[in-house]
Amino acid sequence: MSNVNTTWVPEFSEAAVLITGGTSGVGFETARQFAAAGVTRIGLIGRNEERGEKAKEKLLEEHPDIIASFIAADANDAEQAHEAVNKAISDLGSVDILVNSTVGAAGPQLFHDIPREELATILTQQALGPIVMSHAVLPGMRARNGGVILNIASDAGKVATPGESVIGAAMASIIMFSRGLAIEAKRNGIRVNALTPSLIEGTMTYDRIRNDPFSWRIFERAASMANLGVAQPQDLAGMIVFLASPQGAKITGQAISINGGISAA
């Protein structure tokens, strides 16, 4: 252990990582990059059991020396989140780094077109997962006086965009939750940051957006502004691994945009 003011900054060789939404897209790429960086205990949480088992098998094929666990759970459900963390602790020994890469099913839609019965669902499917998962891992991290929580939100939580009024509200809640928890948890050596991408190629969300004319008009315009290139899953994963590493030990309470220059929010 590395002690800085009595806090624990975990080296990757001694840390266990748990990734919600870890069976595809940014979450799975993050698992791959953590394994390549020396993490030997990795847990993946997802709702689709078949996809989850395949992701675990693929991860083990690439890195046969690690311990990998798949846990089927809905991270938006507080009881399932706590049960999933308990299962991860049983399988991996601890949860020292939590990455919340959950994605809601809702796409861009003008506010007046959203049925009122869907409003609460859009908010909870997007915003609740990082909150309840953080609540589940916090006791163990506080007991060890160290840990890392990384939440993926979106630039929609920083920049107002037509069609993303409710999604933006959910993303803004993730950002402010991350900042507030960072201030509370720093006394226990726990770092909390958010990443706020815009459009990410190579994900199921990207494919879904491309198939919806209204959503694609919005994001096609945004993509044209990404002079540095539209973000890929590996771009997000690389920043996540850095922020979780000892090199990121002084960074907390930040919401970092990775968007290729679409905005400077």
- pLDDT digits 0-9 by tens, 54-99: 999 999 999 999 999 999 999 999 999 999 999 999 999 999 999 9
Is the pLDDT at 208 greater than 90? The verdict is no
**Region 5-10: what's the mean pLDDT?**
76
Residue 209 has pLDDT above 70, yes or no: no
Centroid of chain to Cα 14? 21
What is the per-residue pLDDT for 232? 85
Is residue 11 scored above 60 in pLDDT? yes
Least confident stretch, 65-79, 115-129, 213-227: 213-227
Summary mean pLDDT of the chain: 90
Where is pLDDT greater, at 3 or 165?
165
Task: Give the pLDDT of residue 222.
Answer: 64
Residue carrying the six token digits 């957006």: 209
- Choose the weakest-confidence range: 72-76, 164-168, 172-176, 208-212: 208-212
The whole-angstrom separation of Cα 235 and Cα 116 is 36
Q: Quick one: residue 174, left, alpha or beta (phi over 0 = left, psi -120 to 50 = alpha)?
A: alpha
Residue 258 pLDDT: 86
- CATH class as words, domain 3-258: alpha beta
Structure tokens at 80: 């399932």
Within 8 A by CB and 6+ apart from 68, the residues are 42, 43, 44, 56, 59, 60
Residue 244: per-residue pLDDT: 98
Does the structure show a pLDDT above 90 at 212?
A: no
Between these two residues, 242 and 264, which has the higher pLDDT value?
242
229 neighbors 260 (Cβ within 8 angstroms): yes
pLDDT of amino acid 260: 73
Neighbours of 237 (CB within 10 A): 24
Q: Where are the alpha helices (DSSP H) in 165-255?
A: 165-185, 204-210, 213-223, 233-244
The reported pLDDT for the residue numbered 3 is: 44
pLDDT at 205 over 80: no
Task: Dump pLDDT digits (tens) for 183-194.
Answer: 999 999 999 999
Residue 225 has pLDDT above 70, yes or no: no
**Among 36-45, 60-69, 125-134, 151-160, which stretch is predicted with the lowest mean pLDDT?**
151-160
- Reference 2, options 254, 256, 257, 249; nearest CA is 249
